[in-house]
Each structure stands twice: as structure tokens, then as C-alpha cells.
Amino acid sequence: MKLLLKKECRLVLSPVQLLFLLLSGLLMIPNYPYFITFFYTGLGIFLMMQAARENRDAAFMSVLPVSKRDMVRARLALAALVELMQLASCVPFVLLRTYAVHMQNAVGMEANAAFLGVGAGMLGLFNRVFFPLHYKNGYDLGKPFLAATAVTALYMIAAEALTHIPGIWFSTVCESYAPAQQLHQLPLLAAGLAVFALLTLRAAQVSARRFASVDL
């Protein structure tokens, strides 16, 4: 698996996906729906998968002494790596908003620890929808991407809406970027990362099982 992931990083990971990491700077825009950052992460993964398909990566992999299941696991590992890099690239901007640039976000959730946790769940949900649909035949990308985008859009709208309901934990503790309040947000961050891991692992299991029966 280590060699397969190395191959994925060298031959499948595109510079465009790495450039999308810079879009974490969107967290510095006043009054902006910051979850859009993770929409671009999904778009980058879609473009990465599209380039691999057009370059006949599956056909190339089929002549190597690796199983279809391992092919899928390596691709999911690459996607998870990219998504974790996106989350990590958000951290400097969260810290900058916390300690230097004090701006309230009237649109939705603040750029804070809770935001990172909810964003991690959003990325896990994208994986759970997109990859199993794609690996039904290992070719279709458009419809799986649209389905995953629709589901994550509903997730984002629900998360942003919760911040506008007065009196609940989401609109009080999770709407603050004060360092003391962000300590109380750490359980949500941990829960979001756990959900990301569980959904991504489940996506890998379902995708591998489906792709194993595909005739390449």
C-alpha cells in the first residue's frame, strides 16, 4: 500500500489540487460562507479523478500485480491526504483570525475550531457519497460529483443555519473565536475528525467491494 500511495502522489496528484490549498485564504474574507473552501477541495478531487481517467490510469494499474481493492484503497488514501492537507492549511488562518484579525462573520460560522470539525465532517460526507457512486463502474464522475455536491450543500446550509438559531450551543459557543471559547469547541473538532475517518473508511470499503466486480 505504501508503494501504491507513492505512485498516486507522483502520477495522480495534480498541481491544481495543491494550488486549491491556497483557497484556505478565503477564511480571511469578511462575511463569507467559509465552508465554500471545502467545496473547492471536492472540485479538486473531481478534477484529479478526471485526469486519471483520461490518462487511462485504471488500465495501467490493471497490468500491475495489485488487486482492484488495493487500487481503490490507495485512491481513497490520496483523497483523504489531500483533504487533511486542506484542513491543516486552514489552521494558520484560524489562528490569525483568533489572535490578530477580529472580524465577526454575519453570514455563518466563524473560522474557529468548531468550523474545522464541521468541515472535516463535510469532507467525510463527500467521500462517502462520491467514491462509492464512482466505483460502481470506475468510469462515471459527473453524476457522482453532482450527487456529492448536492448532499454537502445541504450539510453546509444546515450547519450555517444552526448558527442563526438563538440560544443553542451552535449559536453561542461555536460562534466565537475567543481562545477560551475555542477550548470548548475541541470536542466538536475531535468528533468531526472521527466522523471524517469513519465515513472515509466506509467509503473505501463500499467502493472496493463494488469495483472488485467491475470488468476492466
The model's pLDDT over 110-130, given as tens digits with 9 standing for 90+, comes to 888 999 999 999 999 999 999
pLDDT band at 80 (very low <50, low <70, confident <90, very high): very high
pLDDT at 92: 93
- Most confident residue range from 47-61, 106-120, 140-154: 140-154
Res 216: pLDDT: 65
Q: Do the beta carbons of residue 139 and residue 59 sit within 8 Å? A: no
